Structure 1
Amino acid sequence: MHIEFTQADESHVEAIVDLVNSAYRGDSSKKGWTTEADLLGGQRVDPEGVLSDLTKENSVILIGQDEDSDDKIVACVHLERHESKCYLGMLTVDPTLQKKGIGSMLIEESEAFAQFWDCTHMYMTVIVQRPELIKWYESQGFRNTGEKRPFPYGDERFGIPKLDNLEFTILEKKI
């Protein structure tokens, strides 16, 4: 497998939506370790949200395409610049290709892009009830700031909660 990273454009919206939803929701997500299917039902992203991320200022979605499989999109990440900090979200690897180092490669690509933007830090939100994911990000150099943010209950664009106590924690990394 040879993965080429590039910036997504509007022609990639549907493939990104399919990839992200397959990695985080439903039975397909259970093939990988990043599933949120036990915490949330419904969708993880929709075409309107992905298109919004692609078209707003200081925002980009990077995609990883497998050059050995007709450039199939196998990974993606959303980056958004906020002054000297870069928000990292929607980091996704095809569930059937997880645990092969692709996520770490995406983090490296994200850091390089953030540095291009002259950012000094990257940050993200992770559901507190995902300790295995928090641990993985910590292995990538992020630290848990202890800051919490509420989960957007009632907004089905982010999924349908299966628990009443979901919340986010903020992870940050100096780059």
Structure 2
Amino acid sequence: MDTADTAANGLTFRDATDADVDAIVALIESAYRGDASRTGWTTEADILEGQRTDPEGVLEVIKSPDSRLLTVERGGAVVACCQLEHRGDHAYFGMFAVSPALQGAGLGKVIITEAERHACETWGARAMHMTVISVRNDLIAWYERRGYRRTGEMTPFPYGDERFGIPQRADLQFELLVKPLA
């Protein structure tokens, strides 16, 4: 992906490199897990403990020929990221994190718009797919305001695989959300 500065908000978008792995893991963990994540509104601290991701998982996305890990910097610091994966006629959007201190100021909208633009222009994607934990009503509502729709298609949460966290409730599952892009 070409590096693109958006002067209006001082952001730089670029593909992640191996050197970014630790910063990206720290960002994702800060946005979703532990007490620090409670600063923002995307926290999963009440439904999941443990890790959200690990260096191996982030590196796997960086190295995959069909994926990009879009890294967003402001003032030289990584402040957000998202995964884009080419899957035929659609793209998958995941690993989305915005620094908790910057949440609620419109940065997420800017990033998801750039991700959608990239998926259309680079891969010709006609839709964006993502999965969200179905009990995350506020987060799902945020995506719905961006044009994503709930499909009702569920996949089980990987209970027992601590790479994805330690569930604090027994009703977790992922729901597929979809948005047409073209």
Same fold (TM over 0.5): yes
Aligned with residue 157 of structure 2, among 151, 161, 169: 151
Please list every run of 5 or more consecutive structure 2 residues that lacks an aligned counterpart in the other structure. Answer: 1-8
Could you say which residue in structure 1 is the equivalent of 2:98?
Answer: 93
1:107-164 Cα shifts (integer Å, max 9, x gaps): 1111111111111000100001100000000001100011111001111111010001
Distance 1:12 1:155 in 2: 25
Deviation at 1:3, TM superposition (A): 1.1
Distance 1:47 1:85 in 2: 26
Could you say which residue in structure 2 is the equivalent of 1:79?
Answer: 84
1:76-98 Cα shifts (integer Å, max 9, x gaps): 00111110110000111000100
Identity of aligned residues (%): 49
* Matched ranges for 1:21-170 at <5 A: 21-67=29-75, 71-115=76-120, 116-170=122-176
Distance 2:95 2:10 in 1: 22
Q: Tell me, what secondary structure is at the counterpart of 1:30? A: helix
Could you say which residue in structure 1 is the equivalent of 2:6?
Answer: none
Q: CA RMSD in A?
A: 0.7
Distance 1:48 1:136 in 2: 29
Query: How many matched pairs?
Result: 172
Distance 1:90 1:32 in 2: 16
Could you say which residue in structure 1 is the equivalent of 2:10?
Answer: 2
- Is 1:14 equivalent to 2:22 in the alignment? yes
Distance 1:107 1:21 in 2: 19
